[in-house]
Amino acid sequence: MDGWITAWRQKKQARTRRRFFFLFLLVFLLLAAGTGWGVTNFGWKKIDLKVDGEERALRTWAGDVRQLLEEQGITLYPEDEVVPPPETPLAGGMAVEVRRAVEVTIIADGKEHRLRLVPTTVEAALARAGITLGPEDRVEPGRQELVGGGDTIRVVRVTTRTETVEEELDYRIVRRNDPQLEKGIARLVQRGQKGIRQTEYRVTYEDGREVKRELISQRVLKEPVAEIVAVGTLAEVSRGGRVLSFERVLWATATAYTHTGRRTATGTVPRVGTVAVDPSVIPLGSRLYIEGYGYGRAEDVGSSIKGDRIDVFLDTEEATRRWGVRRVKVYVLE
């Protein structure tokens, strides 16, 4: 009986030891699994990485952003940007972006600037280049537009200023009939004077070149003074006891010539009363009365007789010398 009890007790103790060992192993495995899970979740982080616009999800043991990039074989250049910065510690679920710098050209103030920067707004690129914009300056493309590799930014300097200009105003000519003057004669009664007008403009310049001029105001500083000319209407005069009816009168510079052995331009033999004229002023064949000479007819021309010049015929060389050169009034008779 005692032997059976002893055997039963030994079997029971063995079962108890096996149960304890099993429980101990189970607890150990659970603890090991929990520790591994904790290490994995706290050390092995899930990260979203974006490079040159390409996104990818990955897991890493890296402790900060710099280590992550080195781990992925990503080389950074001086102008590149990383968000967040390289020294930032990594945490699970973090997003990291690498923004590559590109070359942009800026044309401003007659100079060309080339710089590398990450794609950004025009305004930010100008600030990076140290270019300040005035309130009226224009930028192409617009200040908030995004620029990328190979783009060109053009700065147009716009200035506006007020200009004051003084301009001359022409005077008008007033012609008044004067029955005391012969027809064809004009006499200056009052000399005309130009006026002055002041004009104010708003002028816009782009890069120093005028592109727009707007009128602001005008005022006359000095009114012009009209020129008054008396115009003769008298068509008859008395000369040598005779009344002359004429078409017009003109002042002419008169010289004299004598026999040359040649006929006149109209084919006549020159004689006292023959007058050489410019046909564009006095038509050939016109009957004339010349003060200091008398009656005559336009029958001849001369190479030096142009405009308001005439050449009267006299019989002798002595007579032509006495005549000389004089200013005469010529009546073109009806």
Give the CATH number for residue 179.
2.20.230.10
Do 319 and 264 share a domain, yes or no? yes
Banded pLDDT at 32 (limits 50, 70, 90) = very low
Instruction: Quickly count helices (H) and strands (E) in the chain.
Output: 4, 23
Q: Which of 38, 84, 42 is nearest to 59 (CA)?
A: 42
At 39, list the tokens. Answer: 């290490």
Q: Which helix (H) or strand (E) holds 138?
A: strand 138-140
How many structural domains are present in the chain?
A: 4
Domain boundary among 156, 180, 200: 156
Q: Same structural domain for residues 218 and 276?
A: no
Query: What's residue 12's pLDDT?
Result: 60
Could you tell me if residue 36 is inside a domain?
no
Q: What are 61-91's pLDDT values in tens digits?
A: 988 888 988 888 888 888 888 888 888 999 8
Residue 26 located in a structural domain: no
The predicted pLDDT at position 21 comes to 55
Q: Has residue 29 got a pLDDT over 80?
A: no
Residues 150 and 164 in one domain: no
The answer to whether position 84 is within a domain reads yes
The answer to the question of residue 40 being in a domain is no
96 CB-contact burial (10 Å; exposed 0-12 / middle 13-18 / buried 19+): buried
Segment 292-297 mean pLDDT: 95
Which of 18-32, 146-160, 308-322 is most confident? 308-322
Residues 240, 289: one domain? yes
Of 20-24, 144-148, 217-221, 293-297, which range is least confident? Answer: 20-24
Residue with tokens 């021309």: 301
Q: How far apart are CA 146 and CA 123, in angstroms?
A: 9
Mean pLDDT along residues 24-36: 51
In angstroms, the CA 183 to CA 330 distance is: 11
pLDDT at 37: 39
Predicted confidence (pLDDT) at residue 40 exceeds the cutoff of 70 = no
Alpha-helix residue ranges (DSSP H) falling in 130-247: none
Which band of pLDDT confidence, cut at 50, 70 and 90, is reported for residue 257? very high
Domain with 326, as residue range(s), is 235-333
Same domain for 186 and 225, yes or no, is: yes
Identify the three-state secondary structure at position 223.
Answer: coil
Q: Which of 18-27, 60-69, 224-233, 236-245 reaches the highest mean pLDDT?
A: 224-233
pLDDT-derived band at 31, boundaries 50, 70, 90: low
Q: Output 78 or 332, whichever has higher pLDDT.
A: 332
Q: For residue 108, give the amino acid letter.
A: A
Give domain status of residue 190, yes or no. yes
**Alpha carbons 120 and 124: distance in angstroms, whole number:** 6
41: pLDDT confidence band, cut at 50, 70 and 90? very low
Out of 69, 99, 129, a domain closes at 99
Contact between 218 and 198 (Cβ < 8 Å)? yes
Answer whether residue 30 shows pLDDT above 50. Answer: yes
Q: Region 205-224: what's the mean pLDDT?
A: 95
Domain boundary among 202, 229, 256: 229
Do 120 and 176 have their domain in common? Answer: no
Same domain, 199 and 287: no
At residue 284, the pLDDT reads 96
**Structure token digits, residue 106:** 């800026």
Report in angstroms the alpha-carbon separations of 172 from 192, 199, 229, 232: 8, 21, 11, 19
Q: Are 76 and 121 in a shared domain?
A: no
3-state SS class at 20: helix
Least confident of 233-242, 248-257, 302-311: 233-242
Where b means 16+ CB within 10 Å and e means fewer, 113-135 reads beeebbbbebebbbebbebebee
Q: Which residue has the higher pLDDT, 75 or 245?
A: 245
CATH of the domain at 296: 2.40.40.10
Q: Report the range of poorest mean pLDDT among 31-45, 58-72, 90-104, 120-134.
A: 31-45
pLDDT at 7 over 90: no
Q: Over the chain, what is the mean pLDDT? A: 87
Q: 26: Cβ–Cβ under 8 A, 6 or more apart, which residues?
A: none
Regarding whether 212 and 141 lie in a shared domain, the answer is no
If one counts every other C-beta atom within 10 angstroms of the C-beta of residue 61, the result is 11
